[in-house]
Structure 1
Amino acid sequence: MMDTVNCNLKIKRIYEEYSKNDGYRILIDRIWPRGIKKKDAKLDAWMKEIAPSSSLRKWFGHEAEKFDEFSAKYREELSDKRETLQKILAVADSQKLTLLYAAKDTKMNHAVVLLNFLNNSI
Protein backbone atom coordinates (compact mmCIF):
# COMPACT_ATOMS: atom_id res chain seq x y z
CA MET A 1 0.00 0.00 0.00
CA MET A 2 1.05 3.57 -0.36
CA ASP A 3 0.42 6.66 1.69
CA THR A 4 -2.45 8.75 0.47
CA VAL A 5 -3.55 12.33 1.01
CA ASN A 6 -7.09 11.12 1.62
CA CYS A 7 -6.73 8.45 4.31
CA ASN A 8 -10.08 6.96 3.23
CA LEU A 9 -8.69 6.13 -0.21
CA LYS A 10 -6.36 3.22 -0.98
CA ILE A 11 -5.52 0.70 -3.68
CA LYS A 12 -5.25 -3.08 -3.39
CA ARG A 13 -4.84 -6.08 -5.67
CA ILE A 14 -8.15 -7.88 -6.05
CA TYR A 15 -6.30 -11.13 -5.35
CA GLU A 16 -5.49 -10.00 -1.81
CA GLU A 17 -7.78 -11.21 0.93
CA TYR A 18 -10.99 -9.26 1.53
CA SER A 19 -11.03 -7.14 4.68
CA LYS A 20 -13.83 -5.24 6.37
CA ASN A 21 -11.32 -2.37 6.54
CA ASP A 22 -11.54 -2.11 2.74
CA GLY A 23 -14.82 -0.27 3.09
CA TYR A 24 -16.48 0.44 -0.26
CA ARG A 25 -14.77 -1.67 -2.96
CA ILE A 26 -14.55 -0.55 -6.60
CA LEU A 27 -12.92 -2.63 -9.33
CA ILE A 28 -11.14 -0.20 -11.67
CA ASP A 29 -10.09 -2.64 -14.42
CA ARG A 30 -11.69 -2.70 -17.86
CA ILE A 31 -11.42 -6.50 -18.05
CA TRP A 32 -12.68 -8.89 -15.35
CA PRO A 33 -9.69 -10.36 -13.42
CA ARG A 34 -8.78 -13.96 -14.20
CA GLY A 35 -9.61 -16.55 -11.58
CA ILE A 36 -11.98 -14.33 -9.58
CA LYS A 37 -15.63 -15.37 -9.35
CA LYS A 38 -18.00 -12.43 -9.39
CA LYS A 39 -19.78 -13.70 -6.30
CA ASP A 40 -16.46 -13.90 -4.41
CA ALA A 41 -15.18 -10.43 -5.40
CA LYS A 42 -17.23 -8.59 -2.76
CA LEU A 43 -17.50 -5.52 -4.99
CA ASP A 44 -19.70 -2.51 -4.44
CA ALA A 45 -19.06 -1.22 -7.97
CA TRP A 46 -17.17 -1.98 -11.14
CA MET A 47 -16.09 1.22 -12.90
CA LYS A 48 -14.68 -0.02 -16.21
CA GLU A 49 -14.90 3.50 -17.58
CA ILE A 50 -12.14 4.80 -15.27
CA ALA A 51 -9.61 2.23 -16.52
CA PRO A 52 -7.13 3.15 -19.26
CA SER A 53 -8.44 2.79 -22.79
CA SER A 54 -7.90 -0.63 -24.35
CA SER A 55 -5.43 0.82 -26.84
CA LEU A 56 -3.37 2.48 -24.08
CA ARG A 57 -3.42 -0.66 -21.92
CA LYS A 58 -2.28 -2.84 -24.83
CA TRP A 59 0.45 -0.35 -25.83
CA PHE A 60 1.81 -0.24 -22.26
CA GLY A 61 1.81 -4.02 -21.84
CA HIS A 62 3.18 -3.57 -18.30
CA GLU A 63 6.63 -2.79 -19.68
CA ALA A 64 8.51 -0.85 -16.99
CA GLU A 65 10.36 1.37 -19.47
CA LYS A 66 7.00 2.66 -20.79
CA PHE A 67 5.52 3.49 -17.37
CA ASP A 68 6.30 7.22 -17.33
CA GLU A 69 4.81 7.76 -20.77
CA PHE A 70 1.87 5.48 -19.90
CA SER A 71 1.25 7.54 -16.74
CA ALA A 72 1.20 10.81 -18.69
CA LYS A 73 -1.16 9.41 -21.33
CA TYR A 74 -3.46 7.88 -18.70
CA ARG A 75 -3.60 11.17 -16.74
CA GLU A 76 -4.62 12.82 -20.00
CA GLU A 77 -7.45 10.29 -20.38
CA LEU A 78 -8.48 10.84 -16.76
CA SER A 79 -8.84 14.57 -17.31
CA ASP A 80 -11.79 13.73 -19.59
CA LYS A 81 -13.49 11.60 -16.91
CA ARG A 82 -14.31 14.26 -14.33
CA GLU A 83 -17.80 12.95 -13.59
CA THR A 84 -16.55 9.46 -12.71
CA LEU A 85 -13.66 10.90 -10.70
CA GLN A 86 -16.13 13.03 -8.72
CA LYS A 87 -18.21 9.92 -7.93
CA ILE A 88 -15.12 8.17 -6.56
CA LEU A 89 -14.09 11.19 -4.48
CA ALA A 90 -17.63 11.56 -3.12
CA VAL A 91 -17.51 8.00 -1.79
CA ALA A 92 -14.04 8.57 -0.30
CA ASP A 93 -15.30 11.74 1.43
CA SER A 94 -17.86 9.75 3.41
CA GLN A 95 -16.25 6.35 4.01
CA LYS A 96 -13.23 4.12 3.44
CA LEU A 97 -12.75 3.28 -0.24
CA THR A 98 -10.53 0.66 -1.84
CA LEU A 99 -9.78 0.75 -5.55
CA LEU A 100 -9.12 -2.79 -6.74
CA TYR A 101 -6.93 -3.82 -9.65
CA ALA A 102 -5.51 -7.09 -10.99
CA ALA A 103 -2.04 -6.11 -12.25
CA LYS A 104 0.84 -8.16 -10.83
CA ASP A 105 3.16 -5.17 -10.55
CA THR A 106 2.09 -3.22 -7.47
CA LYS A 107 4.24 -0.16 -8.22
CA MET A 108 3.77 0.38 -11.97
CA ASN A 109 0.10 0.08 -12.85
CA HIS A 110 -2.93 2.25 -13.59
CA ALA A 111 -4.22 2.07 -10.01
CA VAL A 112 -1.09 3.84 -8.75
CA VAL A 113 -1.56 6.57 -11.38
CA LEU A 114 -5.27 6.89 -10.57
CA LEU A 115 -4.64 7.09 -6.81
CA ASN A 116 -2.07 9.86 -7.30
CA PHE A 117 -4.39 11.67 -9.71
CA LEU A 118 -7.27 11.53 -7.19
CA ASN A 119 -5.07 12.65 -4.31
CA ASN A 120 -3.90 15.61 -6.38
CA SER A 121 -7.53 16.48 -7.15
CA ILE A 122 -8.47 16.83 -3.49
Structure 2
Amino acid sequence: MEKNDFPIFLSVFDYGWLKRALREAEAYLKESKKASPPLKLIYARMSILSSRMLITMLFPPMGKYENSNVSEESSNPVEYRLRSLYDKALEKVEKIQFSEEEAVEISDFLYNLSSTILEQILSKN
Protein backbone atom coordinates (compact mmCIF):
# COMPACT_ATOMS: atom_id res chain seq x y z
CA MET A 1 0.00 0.00 0.00
CA GLU A 2 1.31 3.44 -0.91
CA LYS A 3 2.02 6.02 1.77
CA ASN A 4 -0.70 8.23 0.22
CA ASP A 5 -3.29 5.48 0.75
CA PHE A 6 -3.37 6.06 4.52
CA PRO A 7 -5.61 8.61 6.18
CA ILE A 8 -3.61 11.61 7.30
CA PHE A 9 -3.79 10.65 10.99
CA LEU A 10 -2.52 7.07 10.45
CA SER A 11 1.10 6.09 10.17
CA VAL A 12 2.19 2.91 8.42
CA PHE A 13 2.85 1.49 11.88
CA ASP A 14 -0.69 2.36 13.07
CA TYR A 15 -2.20 0.85 9.95
CA GLY A 16 -0.27 -2.37 10.55
CA TRP A 17 -1.57 -2.69 14.10
CA LEU A 18 -5.14 -1.97 13.02
CA LYS A 19 -5.00 -4.62 10.30
CA ARG A 20 -3.43 -7.08 12.74
CA ALA A 21 -6.22 -6.53 15.29
CA LEU A 22 -8.80 -7.03 12.55
CA ARG A 23 -7.12 -10.24 11.33
CA GLU A 24 -6.97 -11.57 14.90
CA ALA A 25 -10.65 -10.82 15.46
CA GLU A 26 -11.52 -12.61 12.23
CA ALA A 27 -9.36 -15.63 13.07
CA TYR A 28 -10.87 -15.99 16.55
CA LEU A 29 -14.35 -15.59 15.10
CA LYS A 30 -13.73 -18.38 12.58
CA GLU A 31 -12.39 -20.62 15.34
CA SER A 32 -15.39 -19.87 17.56
CA LYS A 33 -17.77 -20.98 14.81
CA LYS A 34 -16.17 -24.41 14.52
CA ALA A 35 -14.98 -24.98 18.11
CA SER A 36 -16.56 -27.34 20.61
CA PRO A 37 -18.89 -25.71 23.18
CA PRO A 38 -16.40 -24.98 25.98
CA LEU A 39 -14.04 -23.28 23.53
CA LYS A 40 -16.74 -21.33 21.68
CA LEU A 41 -16.99 -18.80 24.52
CA ILE A 42 -13.22 -18.42 24.76
CA TYR A 43 -12.77 -17.80 21.04
CA ALA A 44 -15.80 -15.49 20.92
CA ARG A 45 -14.35 -13.49 23.83
CA MET A 46 -10.96 -13.26 22.11
CA SER A 47 -12.64 -12.04 18.93
CA ILE A 48 -14.49 -9.35 20.88
CA LEU A 49 -11.25 -8.34 22.63
CA SER A 50 -9.44 -7.99 19.31
CA SER A 51 -12.30 -5.95 17.84
CA ARG A 52 -12.32 -3.80 20.98
CA MET A 53 -8.57 -3.24 20.66
CA LEU A 54 -9.07 -2.00 17.09
CA ILE A 55 -11.81 0.42 18.20
CA THR A 56 -9.65 1.66 21.08
CA MET A 57 -6.78 2.34 18.67
CA LEU A 58 -9.09 4.28 16.37
CA PHE A 59 -10.92 6.14 19.14
CA PRO A 60 -8.71 6.30 22.26
CA PRO A 61 -10.42 7.34 25.49
CA MET A 62 -9.89 11.04 26.21
CA GLY A 63 -8.97 10.45 29.84
CA LYS A 64 -5.98 8.42 28.78
CA TYR A 65 -4.33 11.35 27.04
CA GLU A 66 -5.71 14.41 28.82
CA ASN A 67 -5.61 15.49 32.43
CA SER A 68 -8.89 17.35 32.19
CA ASN A 69 -12.02 16.41 34.06
CA VAL A 70 -14.17 16.63 30.94
CA SER A 71 -16.87 13.99 30.73
CA GLU A 72 -16.15 11.86 27.70
CA GLU A 73 -19.75 10.68 27.60
CA SER A 74 -20.92 14.24 26.88
CA SER A 75 -18.00 15.47 24.76
CA ASN A 76 -17.45 12.34 22.61
CA PRO A 77 -20.76 10.47 22.83
CA VAL A 78 -20.35 8.32 19.71
CA GLU A 79 -16.88 7.05 20.56
CA TYR A 80 -17.86 6.57 24.19
CA ARG A 81 -20.96 4.54 23.31
CA LEU A 82 -19.06 2.51 20.76
CA ARG A 83 -16.43 1.47 23.31
CA SER A 84 -19.21 0.85 25.86
CA LEU A 85 -20.91 -1.54 23.43
CA TYR A 86 -17.77 -3.70 23.28
CA ASP A 87 -17.29 -3.47 27.05
CA LYS A 88 -20.86 -4.60 27.75
CA ALA A 89 -20.50 -7.53 25.36
CA LEU A 90 -17.23 -8.58 27.02
CA GLU A 91 -18.81 -8.30 30.45
CA LYS A 92 -21.73 -10.52 29.45
CA VAL A 93 -19.46 -13.11 27.81
CA GLU A 94 -17.16 -13.18 30.85
CA LYS A 95 -20.12 -13.65 33.20
CA ILE A 96 -21.48 -16.33 30.85
CA GLN A 97 -24.77 -14.51 30.40
CA PHE A 98 -24.87 -15.64 26.76
CA SER A 99 -25.09 -19.14 25.38
CA GLU A 100 -22.16 -20.23 23.21
CA GLU A 101 -24.15 -19.51 20.06
CA GLU A 102 -25.21 -16.07 21.28
CA ALA A 103 -21.60 -15.23 22.13
CA VAL A 104 -20.51 -16.23 18.62
CA GLU A 105 -23.31 -14.12 17.10
CA ILE A 106 -22.31 -11.10 19.20
CA SER A 107 -18.63 -11.49 18.30
CA ASP A 108 -19.61 -11.81 14.63
CA PHE A 109 -21.64 -8.60 14.83
CA LEU A 110 -18.86 -6.69 16.61
CA TYR A 111 -16.22 -7.96 14.17
CA ASN A 112 -18.35 -6.78 11.23
CA LEU A 113 -18.91 -3.43 12.93
CA SER A 114 -15.17 -2.96 13.54
CA SER A 115 -14.34 -4.00 10.00
CA THR A 116 -16.90 -1.60 8.53
CA ILE A 117 -15.69 1.30 10.67
CA LEU A 118 -12.07 0.70 9.64
CA GLU A 119 -13.02 0.39 5.96
CA GLN A 120 -15.01 3.63 6.13
CA ILE A 121 -12.15 5.50 7.76
CA LEU A 122 -9.66 4.21 5.20
CA SER A 123 -11.98 5.08 2.32
CA LYS A 124 -12.34 8.70 3.51
CA ASN A 125 -8.77 9.49 2.55
User: If the length of structure 1 is used for normalisation, what is the TM-score?
Assistant: 0.27
TM-score (normalised: structure 2): 0.26
Q: Which protein has greater RCO, CA pairs closer than 8 Å, 6+ apart?
A: 1
Higher helix share: 2
Which structure: greater strand fraction? 1
